[in-house]
Amino acid sequence: MAATPFDMRAILLEQTERTRRSSKADVERFIEESELKIASLESQIARERACLAALRHLFSPIHTLPVELLAEIFDLAIRSDARHVRDALRISQVCSYWRHVAHSTPRLWTRPMNIYIRQGRGGDGEQAYADGLKTWLQRSAPLVVPIILVVDYESSNYRLPDEFLSSAPRWRSLGLDVPTYTLLSFVEQLAEGRFDSLEELDLGLEDFAGAVSTTSISFTTVPRLRKLRINIWSEVLRTDILMPWAQLIDLTLDSFYPNITLDILAQCISLVQATVITNGWALLPAARQDILALGHLRALNLCFYGEAKHFIPILDRLAAPELEELGLDFEHMEAVMSWVQTRFTAFQLRAPQITRLKLRCSYLTSDDLRTAIHHAPSLTHLQIRSCGDCIDDDLLDVLHYKAGMSPLAPPPARFAARRHWQQLHGGYSGRNDRLAMVDRPPSSRHYRRCLAGRACNCVVASVNIS
């Protein structure tokens, strides 16, 4: 609203007439009264301006959002990496309303949390950290949280504080970053807690070739545990660590002793996915008849290392009728691995659904690979890396699509090498015409079916020769 114009001359005449018979004291009183009126009006104007700003603030777009949508925006604004702590704190410090919404939204405080155990140093900083962590965990309640316990390598006391363990029933996953010289005793402390919601556990337990536990470490009362990563480099630890093996569906196991590996796999009857890193056998034992049935296993990756060259005994014991992906990695095996074709074929007959086969740094012959492909009727993906001895003209011939003839495997849609094809086999140099035949679909009709995304059962194979 525009201000009402006034005539300064008229006001001057008015005040002159008003003060005609007034004393100086009267005029000073008039001035004081006017100043008080001005102060009162200015105060009213300031208050009205504040009211106006408040009304505009309350009805701004950000304040008309439903609380649920505002919380969703906060959730998207908080990053998932280590900066999530800073992001959550910044959002909660913008204003009291945002702070209330943030503190009332537990999922904002459920990103992976590193808990640093630094006991033995004391000081106000240590207590402030403990208080802050306790508050953070309270804000996440009642939701589950992923936790990583990090023990300071210079700490003198590794006792896990009770205020941390009190939140253990809400831990969804637990990982350890602990000095190896104290890891076992620290795990013993953890085993005393309640882990009602724990689904993933990463114990580590590296470098315990000579470790001896005075008491059993039991995680058998972890009802929701499904995923485990554990390294066992001590025969003693095999009997001292008790796990609910039968309920696991995802296992990453690093064990120096292959017999321990088999003992553990025998108990993991519900496995769906497994990565096993282990040593081989120095001497090839006879195939055993007591087969370990893993009826739910879909993916199995075996990585071998060490000087022992025999890996096949681990497959001799396994039956996986639903297995779809098999990976064999011999990159870190110091000895030349021994491939026993008949026994691998026997394993394939117990795992007839393999669609993906990955081989790395193996010493298969061309005949070994042809036999493996022949006994994989469902094969759709073949990956060969650093296995130069198994690629030759004979293999490529049987992989060829030829009119009127059944190939060794379903026609390959793509068969590519990371390096020049001349390096695949000494006698293959200069015959790149065959590459074109292998690299393209066998017919225009098959090509159209691939482009249309229709089922064509074609093998996708890749080769990397080092």
Residue 297 inside a domain? The answer is no
Residues 154 and 82 in one domain: no
38 vs 42: CA distance, rounded Å: 6
Alpha-carbon dihedral sign for residues 320, 321, 326, 328 = positive
C-alpha distances (whole Å) from 100 to each of 67, 89, 96, 113, 212 are: 10, 12, 6, 22, 51
Position 426 scores a pLDDT of 42
User: Please, are residues 192 and 217 in contact by the beta-carbon 8 Å criterion?
Assistant: no
User: Please, are residues 354 and 339 in contact by the beta-carbon 8 Å criterion?
Assistant: no
Where is 252: in which H helix or E strand? strand 250-255
Residues 123 and 204 in one domain: yes
Task: Give the domain CATH number at 64.
Answer: 1.20.1280
Two structure tokens written together for 18: 């008003």
Give how many domains the chain has, as a whole number: 2
Residues 80 and 147 in one domain: no
* Chain center to CA of 212: 32
Residue 188 inside a domain? The answer is yes
35 vs 12: CA distance, rounded Å: 17
9 vs 267: CA distance, rounded Å: 105
Residues 6+ apart with CB under 8 A from 400: 407, 434, 437, 438
Where is 2: in which H helix or E strand? none
Residue 130 inside a domain? The answer is yes
Q: Write the Ramachandran bin of 256: left for phi over 0, alpha for psi from -120 to 50, otherwise beta.
A: alpha
241 vs 237: CA distance, rounded Å: 6
pTM, two decimal places:
0.74
Residues 233 and 134 in one domain: yes
Is residue 302 helix, strand or coil? strand
Alpha-carbon dihedral sign for residues 135, 137, 140, 142 = negative
- The secondary structure of residue 168, as a DSSP letter, is G
Residues 77 and 167 in one domain: no
Beta strands in 53-153 (DSSP E): 113-117, 145-151
Residue 229 inside a domain? The answer is yes
User: Please, are residues 192 and 163 in contact by the beta-carbon 8 Å criterion?
Assistant: no
Is residue 163 helix, strand or coil? helix
Residue where a domain terminates, one of 71, 95, 111:
111
Position 446 scores a pLDDT of 40
Position 265 scores a pLDDT of 93
Residues 131 and 75 in one domain: no
Q: Write the Ramachandran bin of 19: left for phi over 0, alpha for psi from -120 to 50, otherwise beta.
A: alpha
Question: What range does the domain containing 68 cover?
Answer: 55-111
Residue type at position 41: L
Residue where a domain terminates, one of 220, 243, 266:
243
Residue type at position 106: P
C-alpha distances (whole Å) from 462 to each of 56, 110, 327, 382, 419 are: 63, 41, 14, 6, 11
Residue where a domain terminates, one of 94, 111, 128:
111
Residues 185 and 172 in one domain: yes
Residues 118 and 74 in one domain: no
DSSP string, 194-208: --TT--EEEEE--S-
Residue 118 inside a domain? The answer is yes
C-alpha distances (whole Å) from 265 to each of 244, 284, 361, 394 are: 12, 20, 25, 38
Long-range contact set of residues 18-24: C-beta below 8 Å, sequence gap at least 24: none
Residue 318 inside a domain? The answer is no
C-alpha distances (whole Å) from 121 to each of 131, 154, 300, 304, 409 are: 16, 9, 46, 43, 66
Is residue 415 helix, strand or coil? strand
Residue where the block lists tokens 């700003």: 53
Residues 138 and 188 in one domain: yes
- The secondary structure of residue 402, as a DSSP letter, is B
Residues 6+ apart with CB under 8 A from 122: none
Alpha helix (H) residue ranges in 317-432 = 341-350, 366-374, 393-399
Residues 61 and 157 in one domain: no
Residues 239 and 125 in one domain: yes
Residue 323 inside a domain? The answer is no
Query: In a structure prediction context, what are the per-residue pLDDT tens digits for the chain, which is 466 residues long?
Result: 555 677 888 888 888 888 888 888 888 888 898 899 999 999 999 999 999 888 887 777 777 788 999 999 999 999 888 788 889 999 999 988 899 999 999 999 999 888 887 655 555 677 787 788 888 889 999 999 999 888 766 555 566 667 777 888 999 999 887 766 566 667 777 777 788 999 999 986 554 444 445 456 677 788 999 999 988 776 655 556 788 999 999 999 998 888 889 989 999 999 999 999 998 888 888 877 789 999 999 999 999 988 888 899 999 999 999 999 999 999 888 888 889 999 999 999 999 999 999 999 888 888 898 899 889 988 888 888 887 778 777 777 777 666 676 666 655 444 444 433 444 444 443 343 333 334 333 343 443 333 333 344 444 455 543 4
66 vs 69: CA distance, rounded Å: 5
DSSP string, 428-448: GTT-THHHHHHHS-SSHHHHH
